[in-house]
Amino acid sequence: MQEVLRHRGRVVTDTDVEFIRELISQHPSASRRALSQKLCEAWDWRQSNGALRDMVCRGLMLALHRAGHIQLPERRYAPPNPFLTRGRPATVELDSTPLHCTLAELGPLVVRQVRRTEEEQLCCSLIETHHYLRYTQPVGEHLKYLVYAQERPVACFTWSSAPRHLGPRDRFIEWPLAARRQNLRLLAYNSRFLILPWVKVPHLASHLLGYMARNLSRDWERLYDHPICFVETFVDPERNKGTCYRAANWVVLGMTTGRGKDAPTWEQNRSKKQVLGLPLVRDFRQRLARLA
């Protein structure tokens, strides 16, 4: 068998291409979507929750079509792209009275996972308005958190699926390629962390990161039926030193290349970021290297 294509970690051989051609010929009236679902079922290609990997499979078939290996039927329907039509989160007016005190004086903190709740929009709005990177829709599996103190929002988090390739992290974990492809879902990426600008409470940031380390995996498992073993984030050293992460026992793993995941060349096209990570369990390397 000869390799024809690699798509999202799956190797497609010439034998696979023949199988797909036969599948298309057996269902001449099927749409592209129906064909990708049939191929997923034939390959038993599923997500960790058991759902068919329909969108990934559709992308694979389209790549084969564009390369001339298969002939897909004409496109019947082009659904609107939600990433192009989605509006920016609206600004929400809040009490911005300065909150300057010690952590003890701040009083009890209430941390709520707000994804798929009425408070999700507030979390998105605060990040859009007050975070220097603004809000972007998290990729893949994700959770969002609001932190309250004295009945006022004081902080926000978003956590999402981890990048597929990240050299400093992969070298630190020491996992084989096959294990990374299978177990990447056990990692989470802290894509946004915001302390609201009128909140000046020493040690609040590291305290909240410690809370996340203790509770994120449980919340993730409740929604996605699997735990989290390792968390990671990027810090722009031109803007800050990541002191709160270090204070919460996160480890500096190295620097990014400054190219981005889809860079067409090896040339740097963005600022380099510091990569920080934190194991959530002691045997994280064994768990992440384990193959089913």
- What digits encode the pLDDT tens for the residues 146-176? 999 999 999 999 999 999 989 999 999 999 9
Residue 61, token pair as written in the block? 């078939």
Domains and CATH numbers, the chain: 3-66 (no CATH), 87-289 (3.40.630.30)
Residue count (the chain): 292
Task: Return the biggest CA–CA distance within the chain.
Answer: 71
Q: What pLDDT sits at residue 46?
A: 86
Q: What pLDDT sits at residue 234?
A: 96
Q: What pLDDT sits at residue 81?
A: 62
* 187-195 and 230-235 strand pairing: parallel
The percent of residues in the chain predicted with pLDDT above 70, rounded, is: 92
CA distances to 20, 134, 218 from 193, rounded to whole Å, are 44, 11, 19
- What digits encode the pLDDT tens for the residues 189-204? 999 999 999 999 999 9
Q: What pLDDT sits at residue 51?
A: 84
Give rounded-to-5 percent helix, strand, coil for the chain.
35, 20, 40
Specify the pTM.
0.78
Q: Is pLDDT above 70 for 268?
A: no
Q: What is the mean pLDDT of residues 248-261?
A: 87
Alpha-carbon span 8 to 6, nearest angstrom:
7
Q: What pLDDT sits at residue 142?
A: 96
User: What angle is formed at CA 232 by the lines to CA 284 and CA 59, rounded to 5 degrees?
Assistant: 95
Q: What pLDDT sits at residue 82?
A: 61
